Amino acid sequence: MCSLALFPPPLPPGQTTLCESNNELLSGANNSEDAQDSGPLSLHFPRESLKLHSRTESSSKAAFLDHSETLWMRSAAAWRDGGFTGLLNEVTTSHAEVPKWLSVTSGCILALLRWVSSFHGSLYPHVTLSSEDMIAEFSQVLNWPDCVVRAFAWHPHTDKFAVALLDDSIKIYNPKSAISPTLKHRLQRNVAAVQWKPLCASALAVACQNCVLVWNVDPCSLSTRPSSGCAQVLSHPGHSPVTSIAWSPSGSLLVSASPLDTAMMVWDVAAESCVPLQRVGGGGVTFLSWSPDGSHILACTPSALFRVWETRMWTCERWPCIKGRCQSGCWSPDGSRLLFTVQGEMVIYALTFSGSPGVPPSMVKGPQTAVVVADLSETTFNGPDGDIIVGGEIQSLSWDPRGERLAVLLKGDPQAANRPAIIAVFKTRANPIFELLPCGFVQGELGAEARLMEFHPNFQHGALLTVCWSSGKITHIPFYFLSSGVSHVDLSRSPPLPHPHERPADFANQSLFTELIS
């Protein structure tokens, strides 16, 4: 089992990780001019440049003078705004105008409803959160409410990507075109996730507070502000806020999840119809991840339970956890192995699925227990400026599409200065046995914490990790390596590497040990 103690120590402050080459991570001095040159796709969104919403409350009622309406008008308005509970509230509060029995009855019903919902809340504490807090709680982004870049998605086949910003707009960048369209929509609020549709050039799904939007951004269009008519709105009563979405790798279906809805929605996007898949237990669905071969979906719930759905007949396996809910997960490229982390534990677990797609689902036997493959408990590194503690709980996992590098975003502790959030990168190997080997830490500029990371889906020379920093910067860190599965023919095509730095010699002969999966 791999642990953080085997890692090379973090860089001293002021150094940033540039790339991996010849099996080591190279770093450079923190030079802002260099960072600008590192590529056309390195972006910077300063917080000041975004126009944020000035008002926070959802209704503009406070700005207007109060005037008296009849009871009927107020009741109708309350029904429209607040539904049944709003109506009851209105009736209960206006004692003077309604008969006594009516106000007493509605008061009783209201109290009963509150009691029931508090009971529900004690079973599932997350239902008492506001929807923004809920997205922050279950998002894969570290410290989501404060994040300038709230979501990021590479296009699965080309070099373009979409960035969702704090001001609820989405920008699309394409290195081949000078136009970067900005997407804004009335319903596009509190974006929790974005994802491009596979096998399609234009469709981008956006998980918003109340719905899922599917934008159709014509790549040949010259418009910088596609109208909201380009977006399909997928909403279902009770299915909000949406915290996670996942496209099937074949591009035909989209699943969406909400922590308040026990059903997971499978959308046929073209027809805008959905099939709710409901199972008892869990209290909602927080995070979804579709395996790259399309055969399984990981669905995490807010309680200590997650499910792995099989996508042919849509049946699921229940996986109860001991400690907490499943926070994050990722699949190996062939869909046979699932890595996941549990809140409150500092380890990475692995599950192996041996089912080949041809075997009927009833024959596929899943594994009986999950195996710990990496230990990320806190480790102290002695640096020149004092000790740095690395490790702890894990925010998200990301596995590169070739299955050779695994990036782990560690939460750190925002209060303690010497416990920053940091990305630890592992080398992974599936053959002959599955093993995680230490690669190194990825660090940004001074004062910038990693918030969000994603691997480029088809980088030619290895893996390319895109990291969004708390400063609003987006940088790309390439890992140059030769894939073990690919023949070593295109060696000559590897790009000129930056000048390698001095390498600390004492890590060269460290023993790496791995654990067999029993």
Partner 1 sequence: MFPSETSCWFIRKVIWWRAAASIAWSVLLLPPTTAVFVILSKFSFLHPIQTVSDCLSLLMSANSIFSFILLGGVVIMVGFLILEYYTVIPTIACSKIALLGQLLHPRQVVNSLAHGLMGMIVGWCCAVTVGHRYETLGYPARSSDGHPQMCLNEYHLVFLLAGAFVGFSHSLLGVIHNINYVYFHTVQQYKYLHFKGSLPLVVKCSAIQAFYSMRNFIVVYFFLGYIPKTWICKTLTLHLDSSVHPLDSIAGLLDLSLLYHLWISATFLLFTWYITLLLFRIFVTEVYSFPVKSTFTDDSHQCLPKVLTDNQPMILKFLALQDLALLSKHSPSRRSEVFSLSQPGGHPHNWNTVSKECLALLADLTQRLVAYHETVATNGRAKSLSSGSERKTSSETSATSGTEDLMSPRPTFLMKTPASIFARSVARGPHSPLTSPFTSDLDSPFASPALRRLTAPVDQCSPWHGSIQSPHIMRRGPQLWSTSTESHANGSPPPSPASVPSPKQEPAKPSFLAQFLQNRKEQVKNFMAKRVLIMYLFNKLPEASSQALFADSQAHIWALEALSYLVQASFTEDQFGVVQTTLPSILSSMLHLQEAVDRHFKLPHASSKPVRSTNSMEDFAFKTLRFALRATLKTSIYRITTTFGSHLNAVQMSGEHRKRLQQFLEFKE
In Å, the largest CA–CA distance within the chain is 87
Q: Which of 62, 107, 64 is nearest to 88 (CA)?
A: 107
Minimum separation from the CB atom of position 235 to partner 1 (A): 9
Among 89, 105, 143, 158, binds partner 1 (CB under 8 A): 158
* Residues in 44-83 at the binding interface with partner 1, rule: CB under 8 A: none
**Residue 78 C-beta: closest distance to partner 1, Å:** 24
Q: Does 253 interact with partner 1 (rule: CB under 8 A)?
A: yes
Residue (of 172, 175, 170, 120) closest to 149 by Cα position: 170
For 310, what's the count of Cα atoms within 13 Å in the CB-facing half-sphere? 21
| 313 vs 489 by CB, closer to partner 1 | 313
> Out of 122, 182, 250, 484, which residue is the one contacting partner 1 (CB under 8 A)?
250
Residues that bind partner 1 (rule: CB under 8 A) add up to a total of: 32
Tokens at residue 296, please? 């399984």
Could you count the other beta carbons within 10 Å of the beta carbon of residue 265?
23
- Between 258 and 328, whose beta carbon lies closer to partner 1? 258
Cα of 182 vs its chain's centroid, Å: 21
Half-sphere exposure of 335 (CA within 13 A, CB side): 19
Which of the residues 291 through 350 are near partner 1 (CB under 8 A)? Answer: 312-315
Cα–Cα distance, 10 to 15 (Å, whole number)? 10
User: 122 or 250: whose CB is closer to partner 1?
Assistant: 250
Comparison of 214 and 388: residue with beta carbon closer to partner 1: 214
Q: Smallest gap, in angstroms, from Cβ of residue 222 to partner 1?
A: 13
H or E stretch covering 115: helix 100-123
Our measurement of the distance from residue 11's CA atom to the centroid of its chain's CA atoms, rounded to an integer in Å, reads: 26
C-beta of 271 vs 417, nearer to partner 1: 271
Binding status of residue 112 toward partner 1 by CB under 8 A: no
Task: Evaluate whether 363 touches 353 at the Cβ level (below 8 Å).
Answer: no
* Sole binder of partner 1 in the list 82, 175, 281, 357 (CB under 8 A): 357
Decide whether 201 or 430 has the Cβ nearer to partner 1.
201
| Stretch of 152-160, 180-188, 371-379, 493-501 contacting partner 1, by CB under 8 A | 152-160
Q: What share of the chain is helix, strand, coil (3-state, %, to 5)?
A: 15, 35, 50
Stretch that binds partner 1, among 34-42, 110-118, 356-364, 498-506 (CB under 8 A): 356-364
Instruction: Give the tokens for residue 101.
Output: 């029995």
Q: Other CB atoms closer than 10 Å to residue 481's CB: what's the count?
A: 20
Nearest distance in Å: CB 198, partner 1: 8
Of the candidate residues 69, 268, 334, 387, the single one contacting partner 1 (CB under 8 A): 268
Q: Which of the stretches 91-99, 272-280, 382-390, 471-479 binds partner 1 when contact is defined by CB under 8 A? A: 272-280
Euclidean distance between the first and final Cα of the chain, in Å? 13
Q: Does residue 104 touch partner 1 according to CB under 8 A?
A: no
Stretch that binds partner 1, among 7-15, 77-85, 276-284, 340-348 (CB under 8 A): 276-284
Q: Report the nearest approach of partner 1 to the CB of residue 270 (Å).
A: 4
Mention every residue, 6+ apart, whose C-beta is less than 8 A from residue 268: 252, 253, 274, 275
3-state secondary structure (DSSP) of residue 282: coil
Cis before 432 (ω within 30): yes
Hey, which residues between 188 and 227 contact partner 1 (CB under 8 A)?
Answer: 199-202, 219-220
Q: Give contact residues for partner 1 (rule: CB under 8 A).
A: 155, 157-158, 199-202, 219-220, 232, 250-253, 266, 268-273, 275-278, 312-315, 356-358
